[in-house]
Amino acid sequence: MAIRKHAFVPGEYYHIYNRGNSKREIFLDNNDYQHFIKCLFICNTYKNFKFRDDVVDAEIDAFEFDRGECLVSVGAWVLMPNHFHIYLIINKKKSHMSDMWKKNQVSEFMRKLSTAYSKYFNAKYDHTGGLFEGAFKSVIVLKDVQAKYLFSYIHLNCIKLIYPKWKENGIRDKEKSLKFLVNYKWSSYLDHKGIRRKENLILNLNDFPKYFNSSIDFDVEIFDWINNNPHV
């Protein structure tokens, strides 16, 4: 098992990501995206649960599941056909428990998330073997400017679907790109724009600095990342 270069500790922010084994697609239809999004919400809990028992058989919407306290606070996320990105911090409300609790909150959240989605995917597609390319990857966010532009990096990731080389060549049509972002349901972009939907419940922005004064500033500043392009 690979040893991480850093430990997950309360008060630090992390960029988490992983992709399908051998770069294979892990979302094959809209139901797959929707199931992973439900897992993003329901797996963020200290409780033990089974999706079928606690959601399907209980006949409730996943977003109605009583999670109790969350393991982590999520600030941004995006799903792509063969990978995903999540920006998170250990939930500050429970960070004082880290010495008493024997498991690391970030690792436990990702274990639950990866396991829950893999079980769903393997059962649906009769897939065997590892779905993901090994353990999830993590980057500690050390600089404030790095943290701010991580929101841009994550939310603009889906632009690759219409402009595959936008990072190298820039975005030719920002209006088209903004329209694409508004219609792309598989990220937290709409939540940061203030659009009311169930997925709002995934985020806990109170644990993150307020980088954008309004939804208009949010669009202006995430596109400003293209010109600055810091390393994240």
- φ, ψ (nearest 5 deg) of residue 151: -60, -40
Record the pTM. Answer: 0.89
pLDDT for the residue numbered 3: 47
Q: What is the pLDDT of residue 10?
A: 84
- Residues of the chain short of pLDDT 70, as ranges, are 1-6, 92-102, 225-232
Please name the CATH architecture into which domain 13-228 falls: 2-Layer Sandwich (3.30)
Task: Report pLDDT for 139.
Answer: 92
The per-residue pLDDT for 131 is 96
pLDDT of residue 97: 52
3-class state of residue 217 by DSSP: helix
How many CB atoms lie under 10 A from the CB of residue 211? 19
Choose among 3, 30, 8: nearest CA to 139.
Answer: 8
| pLDDT of the residue at 102 | 59
Q: For the chain, report the end-to-end CA distance as a whole number of angstroms.
A: 25
Looking at residue 224, its pLDDT comes to: 73
* Adjacent-strand bridge partners of 73: 89
Contact in structure between 15 and 139 (CB atoms under 8 Å): yes
